[in-house]
A and B are shown apart, each in its own frame.
Chain A
Amino acid sequence: MDKVMRLASEKGVVLFSKSSCCLCYAVKILFQELGVTPTIHEIDQDPEGREMERALMRLGCNAPVPAVFIGGELVGSTNEVMSLHLGGGLIPLLKPYQALC
């Protein structure tokens, strides 16, 4: 879907979320802890939300949200983000986008 791809390829950290999703909230908290402010798109508040949801599913995510893109590349859902972080691979990806203290 064009909209999803367009939003996803924006620079920086992009998070597709739903305002009611508490797992998305957990991912937001994690980014906060790492000093990153992702661009958040709450698809449940978007008129094209349903389509966006379907598009995200088609990209291979287990659940449509949360879906994380870094620098235009799909990182994945909560599972992938957690695995990446524990493996030490998340912070290097986020380095360019971390808030300057």
Chain B
Amino acid sequence: MNSPSTQFVPSRRMGIYEPIHQIGMWGENFKSNGNPSASVIFEVDNKLENESETASHEMLAPSNKHDQEATKPIDKIQRRLAQNREAARKSRLRKKAYVQQLENSRLKLIKLEQELEQTRQQGLYMGGGLEGGHLGFSEAVNPGIAAFEMEYGHWIEEQNRQICELRNALNAHISDIELRILVDGGMSHYFELFRMKSTAAKADVFYVMSGMWKTSAERFFSWIGGFRPSELLKVLVPQLDPLTDQQILEVCNLKQSCQQAEDALSQGMEKLQETVSATVAAGQLGEGSYIPQVATAMEKLEALVSFVNQADHLRQETLQQMSRILTTRQAARGLLALGEYFQRLRALSTLWATRPREPA
């Protein structure tokens, strides 16, 4: 145990880091949870006993001079014991205060870490153009993911620009030919995103699955790393009136086949979860965290990449079919509606993140 000064002055300005250098004062025992073992109390008391004995001895020496000869041994001992008890009591109170302060600082530290993590994550979602924004995660920086996040930031910017352009074009009643160029551009932009996601999925499929690159409200609707194709149709169709009877029929069929394909993929995912779970739980549990069938489990996780790709393929196919069914003008209105829908979700996320909260 270190032997620093026992002068403990509770500082009113004690911040998070001060207790750390004072930990040495109380020694190893207080490092983990501030619950000292009984032996430490004894040690500390002993230490204080020795030092307070010296102090009290010096303090009281003058008044006791004339008694020293007669009652020296007994009085002295009793006085010393009383003073020791007093010193020990004071020491215990000081220690209690110190531990309390340590506990408060610890809670403060935890809260700050949480807020920091939240801010980091929000920084990643807003535009996602932060370089090295991925550094905030405890995992090693994945260059494929860092690249994706940057690209996604640019993708959002381009998306916003295209939505503006579409809105202006529709209001300005430009020709169908010019509108077609915008529609094709809009479709290509979505396909570009699916290509980006495919590359990112090879780098880290769990990252793509988690939707961490999107805002929180968008993530709420996440299905295998993106939006549900059936959801897309639900948002789009009401915006497209009036549709011809033929179009209504085709949209109806598309809705049905889209739902069926979605259900099939969902069930495939469930099956994948079951098999991974079974593989991880294989063998006797309770004998350590070694996975007997780790190679099989890894193999199964590879399948996740295929599922993400299939889900994106379904999204792309849904968009393409809608584009085929609709006229150019309808498709332009559809792309505008879809783009604005996602913009609103992103705005909602920002509002949610910055809503006034009660002070902790």
Contact B269 A86 (CB under 8 A): no
Is A82's CB within 8 Å of the partner chain B?
A: yes
Q: Name the one of B264, B300, B313 contacting A26, with C-beta atoms under 8 angstroms.
A: B264
Cβ contacts under 8 Å, B260 to chain A: 30, 33-34, 85
Is A22's CB within 8 Å of the partner chain B?
A: yes
Which of B254, B261, B321: most chain A CB closer than 10 A?
B261
Cβ contacts under 8 Å, B272 to chain A: 22
Question: Knowing A63-B306, A86-B321, A88-B253 touch, does A26 contact B265 (C-beta < 8 A)?
Answer: yes
B contact face: mostly helix, strand, loop, or mixed:
helix
Q: How far is the CB of A71 from chain B (nearest CB, A)?
A: 20
Number of interface residues of A (CB under 8 A): 22
* Contact string against B for A residues 4-31, beta-carbon threshold 8 Å, 1 for contact and 0 otherwise: 0000000000000000111101110110
Contact B254 A86 (CB under 8 A): yes
Q: How far is the CB of A57 from chain B (nearest CB, A)?
A: 15
Question: Which residue of B has the minimal Cβ distance to A31?
Answer: B264
A contact face: mostly helix, strand, loop, or mixed:
helix
* 8 A Cβ contacts from A58-101 to B: 63, 78-79, 82-83, 85-88, 90-91
Cβ contacts under 8 Å, A86 to chain B: 254, 257-258, 261, 314, 317-318, 321
Question: Knowing A21-B303, A86-B317 touch, does A29 contact B257 (C-beta < 8 A)?
Answer: no
Contact A22 B303 (CB under 8 A): yes
Contact B306 A23 (CB under 8 A): yes
In the bound assembly, the distance between CA atoms of A86 and B272 in angstroms comes to 24
Q: How far is the CB of B121 from chain A (nearest CB, A)?
A: 31
Cβ contacts under 8 Å, B321 to chain A: 86-87
Is B307's CB within 8 Å of the partner chain A?
A: yes
Q: Name the one of B258, B310, B318 contacting A79, with C-beta atoms under 8 angstroms.
A: B310
Question: Which residue of B has the minimal Cβ distance to A78?
Answer: B310
Is B267's CB within 8 Å of the partner chain A?
A: yes
Is B275's CB within 8 Å of the partner chain A?
A: yes
Contact A83 B267 (CB under 8 A): no
In the bound assembly, the distance between CA atoms of A82 and B257 in angstroms comes to 9
Contact B264 A27 (CB under 8 A): yes
Contact A22 B275 (CB under 8 A): yes
Cβ contacts under 8 Å, A33 to chain B: 260, 263-264
Q: Name the one of A25, A79, A88 contacting B257, with C-beta atoms under 8 angstroms.
A: A88
A-B contact pairs, 25 of them (CB 8 A): A20-B275, A20-B300, A22-B268, A22-B271, A22-B303, A23-B268, A23-B310, A26-B267, A26-B269, A29-B263, A29-B267, A30-B264, A33-B264, A34-B260, A78-B310, A78-B313, A82-B310, A82-B317, A85-B257, A86-B254, A86-B261, A86-B317, A87-B321, A88-B250, A88-B257
